[in-house]
Amino acid sequence: MKKLILGIAVLFLIVYGIFEFIERLDAVENNESGVKYDQQLNQDQPDQPGQPDEPKKPEMLTITPDQAFKGNLLLINRKYPVPDNAELPEIVNLFKRKDLLKGFGILDNSIELPLDMVDKFSNMVQAAKKDGVTHFLISSGYRDNEKQQELYETLEKGVANPPGHSEHNLGLSMDIGSSLGMMKDAPEGKWLEQNAWKYGFILRFPEDKKDITGVMYEPWHFRYVGLPHSAIMQKHDFVLEQYLDYLKEKKEITETIDGQTYSIAYYRVSDQNIEVPLHQKYELSGDNVDGVIMTSWDTELKDAPVDGTKTGTKEGDAQ
C-alpha cells in the first residue's frame, strides 16, 4: 500500500513538472514574439512630427604642419625665407612660348613665369584693354637663386633681397612695366594700382607702407594673392604683413564680394596635425610662419575675361 501511494506521488510530480515546463516555454515564445512585433511596429511607424533629428557631426579635414609653407599667401622677406624643399609650379619661358603673349610684351628672352600666373595676368590685361590701357611689359618674373644672387650683388644695397628671400624665387611676383614710360607715371601703372585687386593681384610695396614692409616704393612689383584676399586688403588698405596679422587676430572673418560670400579662417599649426571642419569648396594657404588660412565659399567662383599684345622700357629688378 505504501509503495502504491509513493508511486502515485512520484507520477503526480512528473506530470506537474511537464505541465510547468510547457507553460514556461509558451510564455518565453510569446514574449519573444511580442518583442519582434514591437520592433517591427517601430520600424514601420514614420518619424513623429516635431521630433528633432540628431545633429550630424561635421566632416573634418586634417591639416598637416607642412601646409604652413605652401600657397599664395606665403610671407617671404628678409625675415622669412623661401621654405625648404618648396615646390615650384610649372615655369615657362615666355620668349619660347610667344603663343602666351596675349596683350603684353616681354623685356628680353629670359623672362619666365608660372604658367597659371600667365593666365591670370592675361585676364587682367584683357580687362585693362577695354579701358584703353594696352602698353604692358613684363620685365621680370620667376628668378632662380643664381639670378637673385646676381641682382643682390650688382644693385644698390637694400634694393634686392638675398637669394632665397625674394617672392620672385617662388614665382609669386612679377615686375610689370609700360612701353610708355615709368610705371609711377604711365597709364598702365595707374590702372594697376586702382584695379589689380579685382583680379587677385596687389601692389606689394606701396609708397606709404615702407615702415611695415621694409622695402622702398616699387610701383612695378605686383604679387598674386588671389580673391577674396586682394579685395579685403584693398578695402582695409593692408599690405600682406598687415593682412596676415589681421587674420591671426580675428581667427575667422566673412566677406561678400560681388555677391559671393567667403569665409576665411586662420588656424595655428605647430608640429602636429590638426582637425578642422571640412567645407565643400575650399582653398588652403600657409603663411610661411606657423599658420594656415582656409578660404571657403558656397557657389561657383566667376572667372575673369581673357585676351590681348605689346612691348617697352625696363623697370624693377628689386625685391
Q: Active-site residue among 112, 167, 188, 218?
A: 218
DSSP calls for 45-65: SPPPTTPPPPPPPPPEEEE-G
| 292 and 78 Cβ atoms separated by less than 8 Å | no
Question: To 10 degrees, what angle do helices 229-236 and 240-250 make?
Answer: 100
Taking the chain, what is the end-to-end CA distance rounded to the nearest angstrom?
124
| 91 and 113 Cβ atoms separated by less than 8 Å | yes
Which cell is 63 given?
591639416
Q: 221 - beta bridge partners?
A: 175
To the query of whether residue 218 is one of the catalytic residues in this protein, the response is yes
Which cell is 163 given?
637669394
Q: Is 31 in a helix, a strand, or coil?
A: helix
Alpha helices in the chain (DSSP H): 2-44, 115-130, 145-154, 187-195, 210-213, 229-236, 240-250
φ/ψ of residue 38, rounded to 5:
-65, -40
Q: By C-alpha distance, which of 223, 133, 237, 126 is closest to 174? A: 223
Long-range contacts of 110-114 (CB under 8 A, 24+ apart): 111/138, 111/139, 111/140, 111/141, 112/141, 112/142, 112/171, 113/138, 113/141, 113/142, 113/171, 113/174, 114/88, 114/89, 114/90, 114/142, 114/171
Q: How many whole angstroms separate alpha carbon 111 and alpha carbon 41?
A: 75
* Residues annotated catalytic, as ranges: 218
